[in-house]
Structure 1
């Protein structure tokens, strides 16, 4: 079983790798190099061969950047990784600075870099981020230089090979719509907008469009490649030849040409003088500059696959519901273990990760976890995106809260669930805060809303009970989730920041309000739910949509103060618990103790 808490890195990384990188920089005629976390595919997770930031610094977090100069090195991280970066990065070699999205460009602009030449790799930066870097360097007095080869790749001795896992077809019973139908639907949009072709660079979009999956990266069943979709519905798929089988060729059919990924440059050149749809948020600056050299007319627009991919069809919704039924058994076993099997003073956060992943593996159908498990006890739970490591590993003690955020990848779908439980007796304050979070969670479950409503419009609903008490949380309330794809998916989102994508039937989103007290504990409650079809309510002015939860797990009974719940909220909770019990208890026949516990955990209030 794969361990999620292993900590790579340490002082030896920077001490051995920085000199190699600086030698290469000098040979390339640059005084510095900007190194983002992102790779060529802009994925949340990367193959080992593309983990360049980790190679240079030892840092393994999912967001960050480094700025390497001949006499100085800086690593930039956000607040999620304030502890992890101290564990993994040598502070004698690197200055550690905090940045906010989209990058540390304001910090770079304030540096004195007069006359220095700073290199960057246009293959791993979008046009927007590359432009922001160039402007920052200009303000700092430096000259930006796009490099044809990444100096990390040239310095990395023993660099792992790019993954060559074979592509696999996504069964039509899970996909619901054939690849040919999907391609024609997107092609019709290209024709309507006057585009001759679209360059598709996001691996999740490629996976969905061609009904294929892969295992090139951890936590997401993605095939790494590129595609060009033409306005007649034909397409070119650029992947490593070793990934392609006869089954895949038959699956894709005659309208899809499979080409070597190394031919992408030529494929873009073949679009000469054509109008090409390209997404500046997902395609690299290299793609844009290559198209410009080919004298193509670039139509900058959002990935045309993203919105159809986010709007699940009936087969994808059914698959997601089935995935949550499968996942409900290990979750029930885990929650039962938390109440009956842990040893305060001995059991640790890492023990909990092992136990939960073991229960999921016991299903026999788990393909992978869907993200690195957040196993956070006490004050660690106050860091909303904490990741346990050997150095931070906390031991459970009585009288505090444990927050666990986890998920699984199954052929049927992708899961993501957060539950917070009390270890020992909770305080009155913990109960109050948990119940306020639950009220927001229930409000987001019960809401009905008309066409045109975005996640931004709804975000305050989940926060209102906390706001009324002068409280809040600093993360979004909900993100999109893929259909056996990435656990974080757009373009829809429920958050304070403006999101222009209206919620639509079939979209799967998380519902995860929380509350965190630094140095004490964190609370988050998360279900996945999908947007329902339009319905006419009695005497309604217009049709409305709602949410239907697909996560199946009880809440923490001893953290709920029912006196703070309205009758409508209490009814919703009881109805949900009945659904959980009716669905999950019959699946626990091999675990009678867990079944009995579930009956009690789901008893009506």
Structure 2
């Protein structure tokens, strides 16, 4: 929509005005890549969104957002900023960009692979049992995992959906009985990967089909003691803070960075260090005036 290719930023489009917000890394790049006649350029901290909305969002105005793309905390902040000027933020049932994005890339279709136990240090079944015990201790029925790195850690899986990051984009619900509902195209999960995940495990149709949130609720509530969403026993692991509406017993589970590594990490780590050193030497030799 904007033509901006930087790694961080966001845009707000109103009927009569539009702005793009970036940090100090992209103040020059955004002006080179985006049409200055269509966009107002703003620094994300020095010229924040709330001040721009105060100038341009009319009283009683409604600002739409895609609930698939924003955390609960982000939505609360956006609603507060709109309310300050007499407006509101409302979830859109369909993202209007989807209807005009004709050259949108296809959803990831690569095959998911297992992360060998020699490197993971613990089986997925064991990890799920440990996290489910935390849920039970906190009287929670399930936790919704929205971070792909958390899911990669929990299920001991790897993918190629993100350049330079071994992630498979997906969502998951881990229940207090260690059962996990994994929202990923089942065709991407080979039988051998499913077998290594252990039981209980179940994959679902592609999340890229934009299943309604209700389908998550139906999946989670099948064995829940309470209703599945806000104010219930379901927790969300995406935010880093606790919420009165959605208690968080587990926040982004993953392997901690410690000095202790499983034996299988030794050789790959040494190999990566050698490649990094070789790259550094080769790069310095290309610099003018360097030997």
Q: TM-score, normalized by length of structure 1?
A: 0.42
> Is the contact made by 1:226 and 1:261 (CA closer than 8 Å) also made in structure 2?
no
> Is the contact made by 1:128 and 1:280 (CA closer than 8 Å) also made in structure 2?
no
1:310 aligns with 2:256: yes
Change (3 A) 1:338 1:316: same
Greater RCO (CA < 8 Å, at least 6 residues apart): 2
3-state DSSP of counterpart to 2:59: coil
Query: Within 5 A, what are the aligned runs for 1:434-445?
Result: none
3-state DSSP of counterpart to 1:239: strand
3-state DSSP of counterpart to 2:187: helix
**1:322 to partner: Cα distance:** 3.8
Query: Within 5 A, what are the aligned runs for 1:12-27?
Result: none
The answer for the alignment partner of 2:66 in structure 1 is 121
The answer for the alignment partner of 2:230 in structure 1 is none
1:342 aligns with 2:286: yes
**Aligned equivalents of 1:200, 1:174: Cα separation in 2:** 22
Query: Within 5 A, what are the aligned runs for 1:203-602?
Result: 203-262=148-207, 265-272=214-221, 273=226, 275-279=233-237, 281=239, 299-301=246-248, 303-306=250-253, 308-311=254-257, 314-316=260-262, 319=265, 322-339=267-284, 341-342=285-286, 344=288, 398=289, 423=290
**Aligned equivalents of 1:228, 1:156: Cα separation in 2:** 30
**1:104 to partner: Cα distance:** 2.7
**Aligned equivalents of 1:271, 1:111: Cα separation in 2:** 41
Gaps of 5+ in 2: 228-232
**1:158 to partner: Cα distance:** 2.6
**Aligned equivalents of 1:335, 1:77: Cα separation in 2:** 30
Change (3 A) 1:225 1:335: closer
The answer for the alignment partner of 1:163 in structure 2 is 108
**Aligned equivalents of 2:281, 2:57: Cα separation in 1:** 57
Gaps of 5+ in 1: 1-55, 289-296, 345-397, 399-422, 425-605
**Aligned equivalents of 1:223, 1:215: Cα separation in 2:** 6
**Aligned equivalents of 1:159, 1:333: Cα separation in 2:** 37
- Cα deviations across residues 58-109 of structure 1 (Å, max 9, x unaligned)? 11212111111223221100112122212211212211100139x7334423
3-state DSSP of counterpart to 2:94: coil
Change (3 A) 1:239 1:315: same
3-state DSSP of counterpart to 1:258: strand
3-state DSSP of counterpart to 1:281: coil
Change (3 A) 1:265 1:251: farther
- Cα deviations across residues 499-557 of structure 1 (Å, max 9, x unaligned)? xxxxxxxxxxxxxxxxxxxxxxxxxxxxxxxxxxxxxxxxxxxxxxxxxxxxxxxxxxx
**1:282 to partner: Cα distance:** 7.5
> Is the contact made by 2:142 and 2:235 (CA closer than 8 Å) also made in structure 1?
yes
**1:231 to partner: Cα distance:** 1.2
> Is the contact made by 1:190 and 1:231 (CA closer than 8 Å) also made in structure 2?
yes
**Aligned equivalents of 1:305, 1:72: Cα separation in 2:** 37
**1:270 to partner: Cα distance:** 4.0
Change (3 A) 1:192 1:121: same
**Aligned equivalents of 1:322, 1:88: Cα separation in 2:** 43
Query: Within 5 A, what are the aligned runs for 1:41-120?
Result: 56-100=1-45, 104-120=49-65
Count of residue pairs brought into register by the alignment: 276
Change (3 A) 1:60 1:317: farther
Q: TM-score, normalized by length of structure 2?
A: 0.84
**Aligned equivalents of 2:64, 2:117: Cα separation in 1:** 46
- Cα deviations across residues 366-423 of structure 1 (Å, max 9, x unaligned)? xxxxxxxxxxxxxxxxxxxxxxxxxxxxxxxx5xxxxxxxxxxxxxxxxxxxxxxxx5
The answer for the alignment partner of 1:497 in structure 2 is none
Q: CA RMSD in A?
A: 2.8
Mark the structure with the bigger radius of gyration.
1
